[in-house]
Every structure is written in C-alpha cells, then in structure tokens.
Chain A
Amino acid sequence: MTDTLNLLIGIAAGLNLLALASSRLPSMIRAAALQGLVLGVLPLLLEDDWSVLLVAMAAGTALAKGFVIPSLLRRAMHAASIDREVEPLIGFVPSLLLGALATILAMLLSRSLPLLPEHSRTLLLPGALATAICGALLIMARTKAISQVCGYLVLENGAYLFGLLLLRSTPLLVEAGILLDLTVGIFVIGIVVDRIQREFDSLDTRNLTELHE
C-alpha cells in the first residue's frame, strides 16, 4: 500500500514540475487536472476499510479536481478565445529549477518534523510542502488569469495532501475544508474570470495594472 501511495505522490510532485514547465494553457490545465485525479485516489490507499463516506469523498474529489474544474477552465479559455501561450513572468527553465529546488527544500524541511508511526514511511508531508510551494510559485510567476487559477489549484492540492495526514483523526474537518474550498472557491473564481473577460476582452492580468503604487 505504502509503495503505491508514495508512487502516486511522486507522480503528483512530477506534475508540479510539468505545470511549471508548460508553455501552453491546455497542457497546464491538463497537468493540474491529472494531479487532482491522482490525489483523489489517495484516501482509498490510506484507509484499509472503506466506508461509504470515504469512497464518496474520494470520488467527489477526483471528479471535481480532475474533471469539473478543468472543464470550467477550458470553457473559460474557449469563450474568451484567449491565445494559448502561457506568457510567464519568470521563464520556464528558471521556474523549473525553482520548482526542483522547492521539492528538495520540502524534503529537507519535512525531515525535521516528527511524524506519527503510520505516516513515517509515506511521502505525504514532503509532497504536500513541495506542491504548495510550486503552486505559490505558479501564482506569482504567470500572468494570465487562467494560469494563476491553475497555480491556485496546485496550491490547494498541496493543502489537500497535508490534510490527508489528519484523515483518520478528524475526517470531518478534512472533508469539510477541502470540499468547501473547492466548490466555493472555484465557483467564485469562475464568475470573476468571466467578468474580467467581459470587461477587458482579455484574461491577461497585466491589463489589471491601473491600481498600483
């Protein structure tokens, strides 16, 4: 079980780097979606006996993170007929290097944080920290609203991985937090993206520069 779990977390960490290296929006959305799908499966690997709630949560997460949100983003991209280039503030190679550095940093940091016996052999904690840092990096280093939303999704995935550490003790907190975050956050972001598009005829947040100091 632990080996499969670690393999999937490794894949998720690899997808961080893929998202950082993506030069086109569709591949970036695909990386975030795939990561969500992979993470959705994880609760099933962590628990031995599957309750209905657990299966529903895993299915819900995979569905929302893997299909619903990405399709919302794709629709926004088509409706706004944005060209597909990502237009980074920090170039792809430096981003990739920073992402790799973040992953190493996360491994080092998590070494000084003691874990419960059942988590000591998993990569949940370093995976969570690395994913969160890469998400924050994407938000800062990309200019288009949709790529920033992708970064936010990756950041959320990091928080989700972190939450899985608490799945056994406080399942309600973890589920409530994650689901609320997803549904409400993306719903609101979707609406605002739509409004920005109508107002500016583009989703380049560099147009949003009237307010500065």
Chain B
Amino acid sequence: MRALGLVAVPAVASIAALAWPKQATRPLLLPVAAFPHLLLALWCLIDPGPPVPAAWLAMDVVARAVLPLVSLLFLVAALYAVAYLKLRAERNNRIFVAALLGMLALLSLALQAQHLGLLWVAAEAATMVTVPLLHFNRSARAYEATWKYLLVGGTGLALSLMGTFGLGYASLQAGGAGDLTFLSLSQQVHSWSPPWLTLAWVLLLAGYGTKMGVAPMHTWKPDAYGEAPGIVGTMLAGGMTTMAFVAVLRVKAVVDRAMGPAMTTRTLLGLGLLSMALAALFLLRTRDFKRLLAYSSVEHMGILAIGAALGRAGTAAALFHVWTNGMTKGALFFTAGNLRRIGGGRTADEVGGLRHVAPASAALFVTGLFAVTACPPFGVFFSEIQILRAALDSGRPAVAGGFVACLLVAFFGLTRLVFAIVDGEPKTVAPPRPELRDTLGVIGPPLACLLAALWLGLAPPQLLADTWRQAAAWLGDVP
C-alpha cells in the first residue's frame, strides 16, 4: 500500500495541477504533495514492514536506501520552485508544475520497480515527462538542449529496452519460466549463456548509463543542465541519475549472480575512470558556470560507477555518495540559478564580481563548491574517502591513484571558474531588477541543502548507514 502511495500521491497532485485554474497558487501544489511523500518515504525507512515476495512494486531495501533522498530533494526543490515561479509569473506554469510532479511519481515508480520490464517502462515515462521541463525558458538554446536530450535519451532507452529483452531471453534460454522480477532472475543461477549475459549487460549498461550520464554517453548533460531551470537541474542530477544508477545496480546483481562479478567490475571501473577523467578535463576549460555543474555531475556519476564496482563496501559507500552528492548538487544548482538571474550572464566573460551583486547566493555557491570538491567536513568528503578505502582494501591502488588524480584536476577546474565569476569587479553596469535580489525564498533551499550535506558528513544517522550497508549486502548476495 505504502509503495503504491509513494507513486499515487504525486501522480494525483500532477493531475490536480493540470486542472488547477489559478496560475498564482498552482506552484503551492508542489510542496503540498512533497510533504506527505517525504513522510511516507521516511515511514518506510523507519518501519520497513515485511518483505513482499514476487511483488512488481515494493519499497525494498535498495529503494529505502535512496528514495528518501529523492523525496527530500524534491521537497527542497518544491519550496524553491514556489519562489522561482513567482519571479517567472509571465510564463504559464501549468505544464511545468504537472510535469515536475509527474517526474516524482515516475521516479518513485522506477526506484521501487522489482520487475525488469516495469523498471524500463517507468524510466521511459520519466524521461518523456521531463521534456517540457527542459524547454521552460523557450529560448533557441533550450530547444536545442531538449532535442539533444530526446535524441540521446531516446537512443539510450532503445538500447536499454533491447537489453531488457536480451536479459529476459537469456533467462528463458537458461530454463527460466518468463518471470522477470529481479528476485526470480537472481535466484536462477544455473546454465546462463555467457554471450547472452554479456550482450544484455552491455546494452543495459549503455542504456541506463546514458540516463546516468557517464562518459562517453554524457553528451546531453551539459546542454540540459545548462539550459534548464535550477530546479530541473537538481531533479535531473539528484533524481533521474539516481534512478538510473539503481537500475544499473539491480541489473548488475543479476549478472553477478549468474556469471561472477569479473565482467561488471571491469566495465564499471573503466566507465567510471573514463567519466572522471573526461569530466576533469572539461572542467578545466568550460567558461559557463551552469555547464560546469553538468561536468561535475558526470564526474560524480563516474565516482558512483567506481564505487559500485568495488564490492559491498564500495556499493554501500556509493549509496552514501548518492545522498551527499544529491544534496550538494541541489545547493549548487539553486545558487547557480540565482546567480544567473541576478548576474544576467552565464560565462566568466559576461559576469564577474558576483559577491558584490548577490552576496548571499555567491557565498553559498562558493561553500557548495568546497562541499562538492570533497572538503571536510561536508558529506562528499566522507563518502569519497569510503570509496577510496574500498579501492585500496580490494587491492586496486591504480584505481585509487587515478581517482585521487581526477579529483585534484576537477578541484582546480571548479575553483578556477567559480572564483572568476565571484571575485573581481561586476562587469555589468546596470544594477539587476530589484525583485531579483537574494530573498529568503531563493536562499533558504540551497542553505538547507548545504546543512543537510554537512549533517551527512558530521553525523550520518545510524539508520541510514545501516540501510546502505543492508542494500549493498542484498545486492551483493541476493537471498
């Protein structure tokens, strides 16, 4: 019931948003749906209830390890959206609000999906419902980003559909009865055909990896994150990519049980290091601070892939990293949106001295920068240390070395651009429109995200840490 409720609450709110007559009060539906959703998610986290065998939709331990984060992030984004949409009163927000709520419903569905096919259907629908969010700004650049998102994302989905069929067929060929729930797939241990499994893994990893945005399938990311409003960037970077990462983890558990972890480990380590290296290089040369966040997201997806490849300890650390990275990205996207609006530009050539123009947003942006580059005591530092330790413990010093080197290069790239736009003298002569100043509505949400990132670093709740460990154990050794 609760599993269904997590999907139904935002879905009903989404339909209500379509029917809601008043433009000014419609954004309030976002927090109105987000609160009960978060309460429901936390209730499931605290009191899991008995596991439901053979269910297609269930709040299992893996969903419990990440869904509360997506819910929490959505609540913060919803509060920001109320303030943001007030500033954009000239735009009709009917589709935007409905699509945002629809995205939460479909992400909840995908994260809880216990069936290979249901997972794909939810991922597809979540991608499609995001499309109107991307071109909210109606600029030529926004349409270009939307087109790339559709074409790259659509291709990724077609690949993951083929991978879904491939894994299903591999199970039939190995004597399965056509039950495609993850539990039944991972219990079916005998006589899988390795070529089929390899093909299915490659297609599914390429497909869901495109949604995650790991290199070299990351090309939609800089455009989408650069052009979409900050709320959408937050939900893509903290919600959509999390959904795709969980999909990869679930598929990996099936493949590992069938033919051992050697192949998945190799491919994930390769993709992860490639993502980190490419992202670090692009971070060194980009001049646009919203695209900067996209490359940072590619880097962190690489970190997740590496964590997932490093056994139970690494997977638990990666789930921890999903939380710390999600919260930090939220703070960065919200403040980047503020700086973009107030500063009136998006590259280091157009804006400068933003600490004089928007002191609060600039301060939070710089703090977020230190948080995301793993400065203690923020959460990212601790989750990355755990992944590093997992790499060293599993006897992979080369991976650990590459990991640290990429982090250092990324640190230089990020700080270079952030201080270029924050420091110095303002480049625009005209002062910003008075209503665009830093207000509580647009400062509160990123501040809350940063506090959450700090809290996750200093005192992560034992309940969460246990859930991450249990989820990693479940994925590593399905009963």
Chain A residues with Cβ under 8 A from B359's Cβ?
Answer: none
**A159 with B161: CB separation less than 8 A:** yes
Determine the distance from Cα of A169 to Cα of B157 in the docked complex, in whole angstroms: 22
Instruction: Judge whether B141 and A170 touch: CB under 8 Å.
Output: no
Per a CB cutoff under 8 Å, which of B116, B124, B222, B285 touches A181? B124
Q: How far is the CB of A119 from chain B (nearest CB, A)?
A: 9
Residues in A neighbouring B141, C-beta threshold 8 A: 210-211
Asked if A114 and B144 make an inter-chain contact with CB atoms under 8 angstroms apart, the answer reads: no
Q: Which of A114, A162, A181, A192 contacts B150 (CB 8 A)?
A: A192
Interface size class of A (residues with CB under 8 A): 35 or more
B140 in contact with A199 (CB, 8 Å):
yes
User: Please, which residues of chain B bring their CB within 8 A of the CB of A174?
Assistant: 165
CB A88 to nearest CB in B, in angstroms, measures 16
Q: Assuming A116-B173, A162-B162, is B135 touching A195 (CB within 8 A)?
A: yes
Contacts of A172 in B (CB 8 A): 117
Task: List residues 80-114 of chain A with CB under 8 A from any CB of chain B.
Answer: 109, 112-114
B150 pairs with A213, CB closer than 8 A:
no
- From known contacts A181-B157, A188-B128, infer whether A166 and B165 are also in contact, taking CB-CB under 8 Å: yes
A159 touches B155 (CB 8 A): no
Complex Cα spacing A205 to B223, Å: 14
Does chain A have a CB within 8 A of B18?
A: no
Residues of A within 8 A of B121 (CB): 176-177, 180
Closest to A111 in B: B195
Identify B172's interface contact among A163, A166, A200, CB under 8 A.
A166
* CB of A19, distance to nearest CB on chain B (Å): 16
Which chain A positions have C-beta within 8 A of B144?
196, 208-211
- Residues of B with C-beta under 8 A to A196: 143-144, 147
In the assembled complex, the Cα of A115 lies from the Cα of B170 at a distance in Å of 9
**Contacting pair B226 A188 (CB below 8 A):** no
In the assembled complex, the Cα of A211 lies from the Cα of B142 at a distance in Å of: 10
A176 to B180, CA, bound (A): 14
Q: Which residues of B contact A (CB under 8 A)?
A: 116-117, 120-121, 124-125, 128, 131, 135, 140-141, 143-148, 150-151, 154-155, 157-158, 161-162, 164-166, 168-169, 172-173, 177-178, 180, 193, 195-196, 199, 222-223, 226-227, 282, 285-286, 291
A176-B117, A195-B146 are known; give 4 further A-B pairs, CB within 8 A: A170-B178, A181-B157, A181-B161, A210-B141
